[in-house]
Chains A and B, each alone.
Chain A
């Protein structure tokens, strides 16, 4: 009967369109312009200045003393590197947070250093932030949010309003879940290469989750992931190589933090 043939055509069209777009999903074309590395460097400096206006920073000597044993181990196992990484320590005990801007800059709040139980946990978080850099998530996000105006800000030598807008976006807006998962994945692998057990990140998330109530507003970036349960499971179930053995940092973390911060 003709009517069944027409129904069949309709159902086929329905199925084929669905299949076709599932198989080859429409993706938005990438931006035609890119941030060149010199411009990224310039912009990163402008952002650093802007953040320095908002927060107190620790001296390089303190930052290095606390962070470099951890960061150097991570960076030694990271090969090749996209950036020369620079770590900044912000004096703000209330904020349990770390974030990355662009061009290899990573900012850590002193609250995070006080919160973690051991340097291995901190290494996991830093590895995650490095992952965002290496995966190109930050430039990607800037381009998506601001596009051409980013270029304009750099070329015009850094309009203050524009730069603070850019740093606001980098500090406050989240990544999408795929980027977060990929940065986690990156962190697990980098941790293993650096002889740190990825389960350390799970311990950190568990602690964060447990104390969430007592720190309601200050954990936005790290805790803004609604699926912290999945992340805990992900970190715990990440396969370890056969002969893996963790090499702990020889730092008495809590004591050191108490003395210095």
Chain B
């Protein structure tokens, strides 16, 4: 581990509260998906709110809520495109084309994969473990654990001289 990165918190260093908050970032999605299904944007808003209220609760929670948020983006976009494409077909009387059917099947597979990964993520987070999604895990790790410039010259509180 290079010193450019903050060290990763280990399970025994984490409080139950942190583990629960990290797990919550994945579970939030399930609650909001139920409300937001016709409008896929709502779960995204919920994830953003959750992220901003929880990111200050330590690197572990910050990482998991960020991973949950950004991994939601593509699924949300895929779903939104599917919904609007479907509406266009419905109202403008276009054909149910093969590419649309293929797209919907692809969207279903992506949503299922996303659900599965979220559940695994939630379980791991509850156990205090890190869990890296493909691409999003690495991206979140870079964003959360990489030391910013100001961190490099860390200000240290010192006892009175």
Contacts and interface: CB of A to CB of B under 8 A. Distances in A.
Nearest to A21: B102
Interface string B127-145: 0000000110011001000
Interface residues of A, number: 21
B98 A22 contact: yes
Contacts of A26: 101, 105
Contacts of B101: 21-22, 25-26
A6 B105 contact: no
A21 B103 CA distance: 8
A177 interface: yes
A210 interface: no
Contact of A23 (B74, B93, B102, B110): B102
B102 A22 contact: yes
A14 B99 contact: no
Interface residues of B, number: 18
A225 to B, nearest CB: 9
Contact of A19 (B78, B102, B109, B142): B102
A228 B127 CA distance: 61
A25 B105 CA distance: 9
B103 A18 contact: yes
Contacts of B106: 14, 17-18, 21
B13 interface: no
Report whether over half of chain A's contact residues are helix, strand or loop; otherwise say mixed. helix
Contacts of B99: 18, 22
A91 B74 CA distance: 59
A9 B102 contact: no
A3 B98 contact: no
Contacts of B109: 17
Given A25-B98, A226-B93, A6 B103 contact: no
Contacts of A2: 138
Interface string A1-33: 011001101100010011111110110000000
B102 A18 contact: yes
Contacts of A214: none
B149 interface: no
Nearest to B132: A6
B150 interface: no
A20 B98 CA distance: 11
A247 B99 CA distance: 43
B14 to A, nearest CB: 26
A25 B95 CA distance: 14
Contact of B135 (A9, A178, A226, A227): A9
A9 B134 contact: yes
Contacts of B134: 6, 9-10
A20 B135 contact: no
Nearest to B142: A3
A21 B105 contact: yes
Contacts of B110: 14, 17
A230 B94 CA distance: 11
Contacts of A178: 95
In this complex, which of A17, A177, A230 has the most chain B Cβ atoms within 10 angstroms of its Cβ?
A17
Contacts of A20: 102
Interface in A29-45: none
Contacts of A25: 98, 101-102, 105
A7 B135 contact: yes
- Cβ-closest 5 pairs across A and B: A22-B102, A21-B102, A6-B135, A21-B105, A18-B106
5 contacts: A10-B74, A18-B102, A21-B101, A22-B98, A23-B98
Interface of A: 2-3, 6-7, 9-10, 14, 17-23, 25-26, 177-178, 226-227, 230
Interface of B: 74, 78, 93, 95, 98-99, 101-103, 105-106, 109-110, 134-135, 138-139, 142
